[in-house]
Amino acid sequence: MDSRPEPDDAARTTSSEPADVQGAAAPAKWTLIGPGLLVAATGIGAGDLVATLVAGSRFGYALLWAAVVGVVIKIFLVEGAGRWTLATGHSIFEGWRRLGRWTSWYFGPYIVIWGFVYGATAMSASALPLVALVPKIPVLGDIGAVTQIPFIAYAVLTGLLGAAVVWLGHYRRLELIIAVLVGVMFVTVVGAAAVTVPNLGQIAAGLIPRIPDGGLIYALSIAGGVGGTITLAAYGYWLSAKGWSTPRWMRVMRLDNSVAYVISGIFVISMLIVGAELLYSAGIAVEDGDQGLVELADVLASRYGEAMSIVFLIGFWASAFSSVLGVWNGVSIMFADFFGAVRKLPEGHHDRGVGGRYYRFYVLWLTFPPMLLLLLGKPIQVIVAYGVLGSLFMPFLALTLLFLLNSRHVPRQWRNGWVLNLVLGIVALLFIVLGVNQLIGALTSLG
């Protein structure tokens, strides 16, 4: 695979766009609903909500500052991915290729194994709230056949629905659906936090960095893990699908990314408030897995009535299903770009993009093979392999962005300054620590 730089990489910005070079002007026709909302909503899945919920239930507001730090980290990482694409006109995978063939040797096995396991995980996370929700719905809950629908049926239907929605790759349709799901999440998750009547004084105290006993790993996980998946690297592909493809969109991209992650930060902080006010104060523990959100729905029902439980379960489902749609679309585009490059197809070729045959192959890969894991109970060997590869992806992204954004492939005006280099260096170190911890956890699970 050719990893040589293209001669025009550093000449991306032309003299015909002087205002865009300086970032002083942006096109007039744009909306705040953009690719940033997709990447943020996809990254905030059920597992992330549970992580912050459990942290709130164990440490109260002590780790609130870590959630804020996590939002800032993701803003810098996603901005870097977006800046590379807008400044060079190349996808993030093409950037990785310029760092050497080793990036392809890592990314290829990773995206195949990750997709196989994540498909089952995402379908399961979306099925859990439906299993708990349907019996609570008036009329439906009175129909015996409906209440007896097995868990696996909901999971399979979720995968099929996700595949159907993204099959043709219509970006605008996906963006609209994700916006609706985010609206549902906002009303339900933030609403759940509001009804607990949070203590504003304790919230303010939680913004002061401190780590309680036993809270180090939770602090690192909240700061580095929430909203952080392979879909961060999909941002550049969504920018292109949106039509934001040149440096003239740089300011809009940065605003889009920042607004989206502030919204995701509100979700995370809301779940921590729920954990602190509803569980920590009452000494109630919930499971670390997705089942913890179902248990929270039961706590809400006992405290505020069945209607509150139903509303929250709808928000739980919206969070999980938005991740399904985002991954089924965004990561499938990444796979198409990777595999098309392996087949030596040129950039811009239909099969290296959304809706092509490699894109559709990966949509099917995410949907059907993982159904075997649902039937077999997710074999531990596959879970361990996923954990090992997953522990290395975020350090990989942070480090490669650090190199790419200082390279001659990026026009000088869009390269990192010392502040961005310092931030990305700290972020890379954080993810290396988290990765080692996750790697150790995955390997010890074999014992």
- Residue partners of 83: CB distance under 8 A and separation at least 6: 250, 253, 405, 410, 414
- Single out the residue of 397, 433, 431 nearest to residue 70, CA to CA: 431
CA 301-305-308 angle, to 5 degrees, is 75
Domain layout of the chain by residue ranges: 30-444
pLDDT of residue 19 exceeding 50: no
**What top-level class would CATH report for the domain 30-444?**
mainly alpha
Residue whose token pair is 């979700």: 267
Distance CA 381, CA 257 (A): 36
Tokens encoding 264: 């995701």
Q: Using CB atoms within 10 A of its CB, is residue 8 exposed (0-12), middle (13-18) or buried (19+)?
A: exposed
189 DSSP 8-state letter:
I
- The pLDDT tens digits of the residues spanning 25-47 come to 444 444 556 899 999 888 887 77
Structure token pair of residue 399: 């480090």
Give residue-wise pLDDT tens across range 389-441.
Answer: 666 788 899 899 999 999 999 999 999 999 889 988 988 888 788 777 767 77
Contact predicate 367/119, CB 8 Å: yes
User: pLDDT per residue over 155-211, tens digit each?
Assistant: 999 999 999 999 988 999 999 999 999 999 989 989 999 998 888 899 999 999 998
pLDDT band, very low/low/confident/very high, at 142 (cuts 50, 70, 90): low
Cα separations in angstroms, 385 against 47, 114, 368: 19, 9, 19
pTM confidence score:
0.88
Integer Cα distance of 338 and 143 in angstroms: 48
- Averaging pLDDT over each range in 15-24, 62-71, 197-206, 232-241, which range is the top one? 232-241
CA–CA separation, 35 vs 233, rounded Å?
Answer: 12
Instruction: Report CA torsion sign: 116, 79, 239, 226.
Output: positive
The answer, yes or no, to whether residue 13 has pLDDT greater than 70, is no
**What is the token pair recorded at 144?**
């015996």
Our measurement of the distance from residue 243's CA atom to the centroid of its chain's CA atoms, rounded to an integer in Å, reads 21
Q: Residue 22 pLDDT more than 70?
A: no
Does the CA dihedral 312-318-323-328 come out positive or negative?
A: positive
Each residue of 57-103: pLDDT tens digit? 889 999 999 888 888 888 999 999 999 999 999 999 999 999 999 99
Share of the chain above pLDDT 90, in %: 48
